[in-house]
């Protein structure tokens, strides 16, 4: 489904006049199957979010290609409705002037779906994320963090994408709410057979939801392991990182 092929990304260091560049991703290649959940773990600044943005097609790689079902993700038609995202900062993910229903409707409006179907969809989506229809008319300031993130998730699944990039999507939530949202993601994944790219610092959350985990270091893949083998990682760096995250 998703093929990341020798992707490189660099940014200009120190403003527009500088010719020096910071190489953030240095030849990343991996594949992700339909319905698979791939965790991405790494130290702060290792390039996880940059990789997430490239998969979403928000930014372009300097070298290499990201293919989604045979099409380059930089082509909007390849990703439209097929790949969506949930970010850590749910407060800025939703327009504060949009009601819950308007926020969920946003991606659906771009598709040729009748108004009536959209309305019916909203109730079903709210139900799937554990919110009752009374939430339709609420605004972000009326919602708790967990409820807002549920709305973001409802919006992300509204087009029934094949893949969702979740970038630290549960990190800003309290412990018990984190678990509820993880459970929700797990059940939605089974319901829609969608794949997740799960970017996180939370090894326990990754172990709970992911099939495989990629450990990234300085813009390169250090190790890729099946979740059952997380405790048997090979490289000294991966061992140290996992130890550090767990304590």
Applying CB under 6 A, among 37, 38, 48, 170 the residue interacting with ligand ATP is 48
Q: How near is the Cβ of 13 to ligand ATP at its closest, in Å?
A: 8
In contact, 38 and 32? CB cutoff 8 Å = yes
Using rule CB under 6 A, residue 11 touches ligand ATP: yes
Using rule CB under 6 A, residue 47 touches ligand ATP: yes
* Nearest CA among 45, 40, 3, 43 for reference residue 23: 45
CA–CA distance, 49 with 164 (Å, rounded to integer)? 14
The Cβ of residue 161 has, within 10 Å, a number of other Cβ atoms equal to 20
Decide whether 6 or 21 has the Cβ nearer to ligand ATP. 21
Using rule CB under 6 A, residue 24 touches ligand ATP: yes
Applying CB under 6 A, among 2, 7, 28, 46 the residue interacting with ligand ATP is 46
Q: How near is the Cβ of 35 to ligand ATP at its closest, in Å?
A: 25
Using rule CB under 6 A, residue 85 touches ligand ATP: no
- Give me 24's structure tokens: 């953030």
Using rule CB under 6 A, residue 176 touches ligand ATP: no
* Nearest CA among 79, 61, 59 for reference residue 70: 79
Using rule CB under 6 A, residue 44 touches ligand ATP: yes
CA–CA distance, 240 with 223 (Å, rounded to integer)? 13
Q: How near is the Cβ of 80 to ligand ATP at its closest, in Å?
A: 23
Q: How near is the Cβ of 21 to ligand ATP at its closest, in Å?
A: 9
Q: How near is the Cβ of 185 to ligand ATP at its closest, in Å?
A: 19
Using rule CB under 6 A, residue 146 touches ligand ATP: no
Long-range contacts of 87-95 (CB under 8 A, 24+ apart): 87/152, 87/167, 87/168, 87/169, 88/167, 88/168, 88/169, 88/171, 88/172, 89/172, 90/145, 90/148, 90/149, 90/152, 90/172, 91/140, 91/148, 93/148, 93/152, 94/140, 94/148, 94/151, 94/152, 94/155
Using rule CB under 6 A, residue 42 touches ligand ATP: yes
Using rule CB under 6 A, residue 129 touches ligand ATP: no
Decide whether 21 or 33 has the Cβ nearer to ligand ATP. 21
Using rule CB under 6 A, residue 228 touches ligand ATP: no
Stretch in the footprint of ligand ATP (CB under 6 A) among 26-34, 40-48, 68-76, 236-244: 40-48
Q: How near is the Cβ of 178 to ligand ATP at its closest, in Å?
A: 17
Give the interface size with ligand ATP as a residue count (CB under 6 A).
10
In contact, 127 and 188? CB cutoff 8 Å = no
- Give me 239's structure tokens: 């061992």
Residues making contact with ligand ATP (CB under 6 A): 11, 24, 42, 44-50
């Amino acid at each position: 489904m998703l093929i990341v092929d020798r992707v490189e990304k660099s940014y200009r260091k120190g403003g527009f006049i500088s010719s020096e560049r910071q190489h953030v991703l240095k030849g990343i290649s991996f594949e992700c199957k339909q319905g698979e959940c791939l965790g991405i773990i790494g130290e702060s600044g290792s390039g996880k979010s940059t990789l997430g943005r490239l998969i979403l097609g928000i930014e372009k790689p300097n070298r290499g290609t990201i293919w989604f079902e045979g099409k380059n993700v930089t082509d909007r038609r390849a990703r439209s409705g097929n790949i969506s995202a949930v970010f850590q900062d749910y407060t800025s993910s939703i327009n504060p002037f949009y009601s819950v229903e308007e926020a969920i409707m946003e991606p659906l409006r771009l598709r040729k779906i009748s108004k009536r179907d959209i309305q019916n969809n909203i109730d079903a989506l709210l139900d799937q994320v554990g919110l009752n229809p009374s939430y339709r008319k609420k605004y972000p300031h009326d919602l708790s963090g967990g409820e807002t993130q549920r709305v973001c998730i409802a919006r992300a699944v509204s087009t029934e994408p094949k893949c969702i990039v979740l970038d630290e999507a549960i990190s800003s939530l309290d412990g018990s709410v984190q678990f509820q949202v993880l459970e929700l993601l797990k059940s939605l994944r089974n319901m829609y057979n969608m794949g997740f790219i799960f970017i996180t610092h939370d090894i326990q959350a990754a172990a709970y939801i992911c099939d495989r985990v990629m450990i990234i270091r300085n813009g390169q893949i250090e190790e890729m392991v099946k979740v059952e083998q997380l405790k048997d990682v090979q490289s000294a760096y991966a061992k140290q990182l996992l130890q550090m995250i767990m304590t």
